[in-house]
Amino acid sequence: MPELVLYQSDWCPFCRKVTSYLKSNDIEISIVDPSEDPQAAKELMDMTGRRQVPCLSIDGTPLLESDDIIQWFKDNWK
């Protein structure tokens, strides 16, 4: 399984959509909040050139947009 990190913020409704999907499907991955963690903010900016959340890092490759992230889990999570 690839290394997965979800960059998300509690204030973001699209992030809550993704985390709700993860919880309802018992999927546990690393989750960081770039609005509260300066290192996570730097990582997100280095990876994407922006601070957009949610962002799923898949082995260091970013995937943006909540629907695309959820679809990735539907297609790849066993």
How does pLDDT run across 5-58, given as a tens digit for each residue?
999 999 999 999 999 999 999 999 999 999 999 999 999 999 999 999 999 999
* CATH label, 4-76, candidates 3.40.50.1970, 3.30.1370.60, 3.40.30.10, 3.40.50.300: 3.40.30.10
The model's pTM is: 0.94
> Residues 6 or more apart from 7 whose CB is under 8 A from it?
32, 33, 34, 40, 43, 44, 53, 54, 55, 56, 57
